[in-house]
């Protein structure tokens, strides 16, 4: 490759995956440990807070994301200049304004809807400052320092939650406070390396609103929010049309199904700077093998469902109802992981965030009314979840068109359809979705169900055996040779801010 080697790209990818493995383990703690020690009512309130918290990134108007898009590949000296401090000032202004608005909303609300915006107000500022700090390292390619921030954040979050639960503080309020404390400590960890990126002398020209940065970043943020809106909106539909008890069960199923998606999203965030250093002509060439590798790993992860379902029934009996919802949602990871890790990251690297926003917004405008009608008309949550999975699959294929020629599929590539079809056929034959025989579906149904997906997976692997062998050979060679972080030259100015 012309501007970044295949080895460096592979190493950054593996480093990002390794770092986010820690975050994945932490998310497993929140997914499987916390629900056992709080009531379903508190869990429902916590998940309602989490849905609204997912929109918090809008509070910065996309300034951190815009910096990453415009100046990805800059050196460390640039990250601590007047130009960057001016951007931090506006991060505080925008997130602080949102915090004040949320505080006002909390003043006039009652009950849970008063507590949620009251917690979101400080969380908005803390999350935006954390994102700004993290993107300073991402845009300069210093992945190890970004990793330290992420690890401290997640570790502190876990420790504070465990402390609160151990002392009997099981309200969702303390769970939200623990997350904020993690953000504070994570930001402080990163700030040690860039102490001049926050406060200091700001040139007059750098005090003006950074409209160019906002214009670039807000497209990325709105695009991500539009892509997530069908799922977030569907969860809110369940909360307000069906009730908080079913909402808790459905939210738990979504949380388990999205654990691997969270892992991939964070890894994609760390991978972006390496892709940004590649020339636009080189980007499509790396897409097809990466897509194949991601799909194969997600297909392997689907084997975890049956032992996971058994574990949930034993460990979390209050959420046994969630297993049938999880059975429908689990294969969605085949598409959402690829969307977060590849399509979204590639679209930003190729500066097609505007087109991605249009497609995501159009998709949300179409499917949200459909999902609302399905739940309102039939009142069956399973019908809604089938629609959500089908919509996410269509969305993944639809947005891949932005990548261009590299996203075109050969007949062998379409063999991946065997995976979700085989999985759903297997769990249906087992009786897990219908709940027959306590979710076992009888001996015959259980045997048939246990065989269907392995057969589908074997067929997919055989069809793509040559491509997979080549892919794993290259990945092994890249790991064996190793690599390092890009140099951080002193005194050398790159990507001057005055565009």
**Within a domain: residue 49?**
yes
**Within a domain: residue 134?**
yes
**Within a domain: residue 324?**
no
User: For residue 325, which of 311, 297, 305 has the smallest C-alpha distance?
Assistant: 305
**Within a domain: residue 396?**
no
Annotate 91-137 with DSSP letters as a single string: HHHHHHHHHHHHHHHHHH--THHHHHHHHHHHHHHHHHHHHHHHHHH
What are the tens digits of pLDDT across the range 168-207?
999 999 999 999 999 999 999 988 888 888 888 888 887 8
Res 278: pLDDT: 57
Burial class of 192 by CB neighbour count within 10 A (0 to 12, 13 to 18, 19+) = exposed
Res 70: pLDDT: 80
Residue 439 pLDDT more than 50? no
Q: What is the domain count for the chain?
A: 1
What are the tens digits of pLDDT across the range 79-128?
767 888 888 999 999 999 999 999 998 888 887 788 999 999 999 999 99
Gap between the Cα atoms of 72 and 209, Å rounded: 20
Res 267: pLDDT: 52
Scanning 379-464, the segments in alpha helix (DSSP H) are: 381-399, 418-430, 442-463
Provide, rounded to the nearest whole percent, the portion of the chain with pLDDT above 90: 28
Query: Residues 239, 388, 261, CA angle at the centre, nearest 5°?
Result: 95
Gap between the Cα atoms of 320 and 322, Å rounded: 5
**Within a domain: residue 95?**
yes
Res 16: pLDDT: 63
User: For residue 341, which of 388, 304, 396, 383 has the smallest C-alpha distance?
Assistant: 396
Report how far Cα 112 is from the mean position of its chain's Cα atoms: 26
Res 437: pLDDT: 41
The phi, psi pair for 429, rounded to 5°, reads -65, -30
Terminal-to-terminal C-alpha distance of the chain: 26
Half-sphere exposure of 83 (CA within 13 A, CB side): 18
**Within a domain: residue 320?**
no
Place of tokens 């931090």: 88
Q: What is the mean pLDDT of residues 261-283?
A: 55
Choose between 443 and 88: higher pLDDT: 88
Scanning 143-278, the segments in alpha helix (DSSP H) are: 143-166, 172-191, 211-241, 244-257, 259-276
**Within a domain: residue 285?**
no
Q: Record the tokens describing residue 357, joined without a space.
A: 């926003």
Annotate 305-329 with DSSP letters as a single string: HHHHHHHHHHH-GGGTTHHHHHHHH
**Within a domain: residue 489?**
no
Neighbours of 394 (CB within 10 A): 13
Q: Domain span at residue 115?
A: 38-209
Res 479: pLDDT: 56
Band (436; pLDDT cuts 50, 70, 90): very low
Q: What is the mean pLDDT of residues 410-439?
A: 72
Q: What is the mean pLDDT of residues 342-351?
A: 70
């Amino acid at each position: 490759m012309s501007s970044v080697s295949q080895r460096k790209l592979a190493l950054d990818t593996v480093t990002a995956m390794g770092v986010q493995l820690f975050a994945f383990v932490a998310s497993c703690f929140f997914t499987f440990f916390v629900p056992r020690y709080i009531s379903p009512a508190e869990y429902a309130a916590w998940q309602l807070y989490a849905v609204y918290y997912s929109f918090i990134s809008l509070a910065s108007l996309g300034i951190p994301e815009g910096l990453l898009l415009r100046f990805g590949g800059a050196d460390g000296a640039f990250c601590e200049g007047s130009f960057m401090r001016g951007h931090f000032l506006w991060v505080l202004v925008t997130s602080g304004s949102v915090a004040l608005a949320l505080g006002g909303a909390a003043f006039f609300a009652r009950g849970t809807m008063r507590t949620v915006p009251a917690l979101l107000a400080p969380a908005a500022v803390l999350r935006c400052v954390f994102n700004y700090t993290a993107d300073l390292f991402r845009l300069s390619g210093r992945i190890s320092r970004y990793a330290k921030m992420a690890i401290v954040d997640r570790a502190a979050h876990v420790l504070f939650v465990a402390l609160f639960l151990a002392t009997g503080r099981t309200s969702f309020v303390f769970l939200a406070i623990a997350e904020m404390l993690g953000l504070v400590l994570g930001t402080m960890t990163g700030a040690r390396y860039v102490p001049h990126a926050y406060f200091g002398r700001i040139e007059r020209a750098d005090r003006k609103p950074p409209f160019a940065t906002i214009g670039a970043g807000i497209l990325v943020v709105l695009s991500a929010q539009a892509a997530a809106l069908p799922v977030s909106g569907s969860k809110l539909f369940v909360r307000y049309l069906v009730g908080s008890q079913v909402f808790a069960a459905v939210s738990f199923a979504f949380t388990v199904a999205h654990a691997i998606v969270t892992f991939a999203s964070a890894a994609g965030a760390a991978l972006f700077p390496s892709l940004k250093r590649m020339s636009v002509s080189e980007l499509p060439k790396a897409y097809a093998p990466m897509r194949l590798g991601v799909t194969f790993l997600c297909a392997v992860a689907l084997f975890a469902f049956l032992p996971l379902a058994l574990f949930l029934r034993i460990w979390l009996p209050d959420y046994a109802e969630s297993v049938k919802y999880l059975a429908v949602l689990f294969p969605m990871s085949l598409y959402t992981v690829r969307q977060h890790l590849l399509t979204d990251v590639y679209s930003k690297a190729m500066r097609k965030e505007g087109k991605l926003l249009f497609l995501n917004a159009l998709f949300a405008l179409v499917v949200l009314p459909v999902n609302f009608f399905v739940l309102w008309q039939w009142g069956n949550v399973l019908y809604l979840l089938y629609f959500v999975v089908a919509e996410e699959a269509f969305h993944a294929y639809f947005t891949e068109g932005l990548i261009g020629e590299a996203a075109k599929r050969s007949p062998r590539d379409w063999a991946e359809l065997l995976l979700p079809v085989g999985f759903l056929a297997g769990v249906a034959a087992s009786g897990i979705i219908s709940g027959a025989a306590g979710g076992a579906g009888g001996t015959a149904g259980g045997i048939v169900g246990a065989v269907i997906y392995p057969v589908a997976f074997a067929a997919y692997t055989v069809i793509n055996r040559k491509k997979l062998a080549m892919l794993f050979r290259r990945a092994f060679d890249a790991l064996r040779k190793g690599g390092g972080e890009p140099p951080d030259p002193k005194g050398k100015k790159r990507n001057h801010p005055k565009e």
